[in-house]
Chains A and B, each alone.
Chain A
């Protein structure tokens, strides 16, 4: 072994330093001749004669140089170069074969490397933090639940004061602000970010500084840190950005720092970071849960398990101190990796599985093509064997041919990858939150990966045909007929077709399941009609508005929008109907005692304006809609969904009954009783979930500074959006307006299953096409092989139809075996998709049956073409064919 390594090293060195060595050789020869001349001169010869004698003793200079050079440039390399040249020539001589093989491989390789580029950035690349594996995020979640949920600031304060295993505990939460840029208002999203979060992740701003503890908890919080990208793209990249003021929500903040390029908070992009600006006492006194999670760094020598155990203990104490807040909750610590890709994992695994299958099918197909072609080269191989070529040498040559093919396909695959990559990014877009997706690039690593995949596939699909083709070379020469090594070869070909069909079926079945699941999801009735509804999110600057002023601005906006020609209805609400619960909280019948902390089942509360139900097409079942008379000072009223009636009132009419709701009334009190005045149909805020209990309140009685305006109209969305924006701006020039169609909002909530079914579906179609090509190739070969037999049959009176039947029967038997094998494998594998499926079982018989029929159909078409060719052959030609 060491010997082999040494030889390989020597070879490499001699190859690398070839020119150097040749120059060395000349100098060496010169030295030699000089020494010999000197010796001859000392022996008494004249200088000229001494030189001449030396040259004679040395022998032919050129010949020595040539032979030394031969030793330097080893035979292996020469042979390899010759094989590569030969390979290229052979491939160029068969353009049809080369093109189909390259296309096949390029598709497989390209898809694989596009998925790899995403997986690498999204999953594999560590976050650019200091020791990122030491950083954890902390969430609270419902007991028995698996998801993650926001934390209570009062719990956070307790953790910070009591934890001995964690340091730099900090909170992180979403922040949307209205920002004036160049005098125009924009809605910008960033994060509220405790001062200690910079220390927790160990990343200071690249320019300027992080804000200090005094600025965060001391209330002197008029500071902001912006992202590199935001600074470059929105703030003009000015170098004197530090210490300038940016107006957010109507108040100026001083820019103290700019984060490094590509900075994300656990994969989430943030245009800016601002402090909470709340004292410890304020945080401790915060009654419920805000919208934050916590981030912290493990102290030295502490494991995640130890920290989790300690946090659970502290949480247990917190439950005793504040049962109402904590009785139904538990605390979870996540690694950054888990937080970023936890719920993406099943989808990513499914995608990796899908591309791996495509690549495998592509390999099988090319192996198939190579084999069928090597049949045509049987005699070449036989001849060369007879002339003394060793088998290893022949295998190597054929392998190099495959590698040349694979290398070229790899290059083409890069092009395919670039296309796939663009399509993928477009598909994911802004609609699916994939961490760091904007950083995905086709860089050197991806190129290296692609070429590695290409060469590996080259070896995988190249070895077998080469072995088969050379194994029976002797008989190939002996048999002058076409049957030589053909029979054995044919067996291998058939096995490959079975494998190919089976693999394609697995992929098709998976794609079918995802597709059907998506269609079911798409046909879910959300309870409202989303078509022809424009939404416009409006945010008012907090410093200049209170609820009363905001409320009157909103009613003015809605009445002006309603007056636009072509508008059927207009209304407002605190939130969009999907995908979030708006205010997730608890409520109970006022005539019953407040449930114990552990017993409350939560629902969603949605503040809306009059005509909200008419605008969204939510059917009113009983009672009345909200009206202008339901003002802040009027009696508190509520409209409930059918689900509330079913769970709380059974068959009784809920009209006139009262609810207690865990939200603040506009008066600031949270103990008012809300009288039910109406019942509406259920809506779904998540299409794949059950309808949740929903209570609607008049927005005048439960106000907010932000509002979403809904406009039902058949008008062109763009001009309507402009009109709505114009109306808002006329009333408040600094309010950002974000317009979108409700259809797009709803579509966005199922963008991920949509992308999954499209992607896997595309892969499955490629696999199906490849399987078709594979079947075609093998059957064409088979018909060529059986030309004589067919001729005899036809001469003996077989009809054309019977010839077609003969060929088809052979093909379909193979395909049937492949389908059976594929069904078994698919049944085992589709279980892995379970978490991605909606209302469809992983073993859905309908999907499996359709898939099998589809494959059978494609295979039948693919084998019908060669069968017809066999049929058309005139018997006499067939007999003469040999």
Chain B
């Protein structure tokens, strides 16, 4: 559906949400805006998918929510990282960097080396 907008790997959305909340508490719409902005509009979320993720993270105790007034004096629900959420974010960043490094290494292999070690059946 959203292939052209940068499909998200499963589980990545949760990490991005945590990252978006790292600096300050934010409401749902703000989170989508922030991710879009930081990814230079490459990652355009199917915005609706954000909410189940928020509820899941809250149930897991990684974020906490609170109803507050916005600058325009509207009622909105603000999400904030809990301490467990911060720890989770750290873990996932480390994990992500290991993963991306490994994937990059694989992708960087030249054709000749690839032929020297054919995959066995």
Contact = CB atoms under 8 A, between A and B. Distances in A.
Interface of A: 3, 6-7, 9-11, 14, 21, 24-25, 27-29, 31-32, 34-36, 57-61, 63-64, 67-68, 70-72, 74
Contact of A24 (B29, B56, B60, B77): B77
B80 to A, nearest CB: 15
Given A10-B60, A35-B29, A72-B59, A28 B77 contact: yes
19 contacts: A3-B84, A10-B59, A14-B58, A21-B55, A24-B77, A28-B28, A28-B51, A28-B76, A31-B76, A31-B77, A32-B27, A57-B44, A57-B46, A58-B46, A59-B48, A64-B52, A71-B52, A71-B55, A71-B59
Given A6-B61, A71-B59, A72-B59, 13 more contacts: A7-B60, A10-B60, A24-B67, A24-B77, A28-B27, A31-B28, A57-B44, A57-B47, A58-B48, A59-B47, A60-B48, A67-B51, A68-B52
B49 interface: yes
Interface in B2-18: none
A468 B77 CA distance: 50
Contact of B59 (A11, A24, A35, A64): A11
Nearest to A11: B59
Contacts of B56: 71
A64 B55 contact: no
Interface of B: 27-29, 32, 44, 46-49, 51-52, 55-56, 58-61, 67, 74-77, 84
B30 to A, nearest CB: 8
Nearest to A6: B61
B29 A31 contact: yes
B27 A31 contact: yes
A510 to B, nearest CB: 53
Contacts of B74: 31, 34
A62 to B, nearest CB: 10
A36 B28 CA distance: 11
A35 B30 CA distance: 9
Q: Is the interface of A mostly helix, strand, loop or mixed?
A: helix
Contact of A70 (B28, B52, B77): B52
A21 B52 CA distance: 12
A68 B75 contact: no
Contacts of A6: 61, 84
A32 B61 contact: no
- Label chain B's interface by main secondary structure: helix
Contacts of B67: 24
Contact of B52 (A9, A14, A61, A67): A67
A579 B46 CA distance: 91
A386 B77 CA distance: 46
Contacts of A64: 48-49, 51-52
A61 B60 contact: no
Contacts of A36: 29, 47
Contacts of A58: 46-48
A3 B32 CA distance: 28
Given A27-B75, A31-B27, A31-B76, A63 B55 contact: no
A32 B52 contact: no
Contacts of A10: 58-61
Contacts of B32: 32
A413 to B, nearest CB: 37
B112 to A, nearest CB: 44
Q: Which of B60, B61, B76 counts the most A-chain CB atoms under 10 A from its CB?
A: B61
Contacts of B29: 31-32, 35-36
Nearest to A70: B52
Closest 6 CB pairs of A and B: A64-B48, A59-B48, A71-B55, A67-B52, A35-B29, A6-B61
A32 B67 CA distance: 14
A70 B46 CA distance: 18
Interface centre among A6, A24, A34, A59 (most CB of B within 10 A): A59
A864 B104 CA distance: 77
Nearest to A24: B77
Nearest to B56: A71
Contacts of A9: 61
A31 B55 CA distance: 16
B5 to A, nearest CB: 10
B38 to A, nearest CB: 17
A526 B75 CA distance: 90
Contacts of A74: 59
B18 to A, nearest CB: 16
